Structure 1
């Protein structure tokens, strides 16, 4: 009888240690990814509920026509739109070759004092590609048409 209770205790200890290890590993993974998780927002969502200045997120849409301006050095300003709202963007860096007005883009950065300060800008990489999040945001505003994507 003592042998059975010893086996039962050992099994409970193993399960308890496994549960604690699972909780700790989940916590460490979450802690490690805290800066690597960037939520996507459309310009309409940004204007309705502006994020905190410390929050890093991705914004996507079309580069609004007539807003692309190159400043001194590598600073570029433009507006990104989903047809429902427009958000001004400032970016200091080299833009991708395919970046242009009326083209799809996704930027990563922060929304500070009414301006999206981008740390990274991505543009569509061929004639028919646009990020899924951008397509969904444009469809929600009634701006996106299937034939524009070459589908």
Structure 2
């Protein structure tokens, strides 16, 4: 084997090892790459109690219950399924019924999502692409045209 052949074999085997390592990392992080799970995803995947996830969707109308000591209970829905959420803390100013929300926490043994963080959408026109895609998939998107937050696909003309 010549010196050039050994070098090519070494480079080839290095690239193969790198490709296998990348594949293993992507398989291991498959569920963690998702920005959030919709209520339907949580029910279908059978998320185990105590497993930390992000739950996203819309705050269901008529479900906000405020308790003492900053305790709040509400339901997050994607139009198909709804999951009750319990949160203790200060809610974002834009938090209200019918608005997009992403919560972070874990499912309790009773099926209530115990949130430690609540994120609300930040203006009137923006909603994360994942939320609008989930709403479109469930048939509940009521906006006109493409979802806000989705990149507009306009044909480019060469100049």
Counterpart selection for 1:110 from 80, 93, 106 = 106
Q: Tell me if structure 1 keeps the 8 A contact 2:105–2:113.
A: yes
Q: Tell me if structure 2 keeps the 8 A contact 1:39–1:57.
A: no
What runs of 5+ residues in structure 2 fail to find an aligned partner? 149-159
Report the Cα offset of residue 98 of structure 1: 0.3
Q: Tell me if structure 1 keeps the 8 A contact 2:39–2:83.
A: yes
Report the Cα offset of residue 99 of structure 1: 0.5
Q: What is the TM-score normalised by the length of structure 1?
A: 0.73
The structure that has the greater radius of gyration is 1
Matches within 5 A, 1:134-149: 134-146=131-143
RMSD of the TM alignment (CA)? 3.3
Relative distance call for 1:34 and 1:116 in structure 2 (3 A) is: same
Report the Cα offset of residue 39 of structure 1: 5.1
Report the Cα offset of residue 31 of structure 1: 10
Q: Does 1:133 align with 2:130?
A: yes
Counterpart selection for 1:67 from 51, 63, 68 = 63
Relative distance call for 1:34 and 1:109 in structure 2 (3 A) is: farther
What runs of 5+ residues in structure 1 fail to find an aligned partner? none
Give the distance between the partners of 1:81 and 1:106, measured in 2 at CA. 11
Relative distance call for 1:35 and 1:74 in structure 2 (3 A) is: farther
Q: Does 1:90 align with 2:86?
A: yes
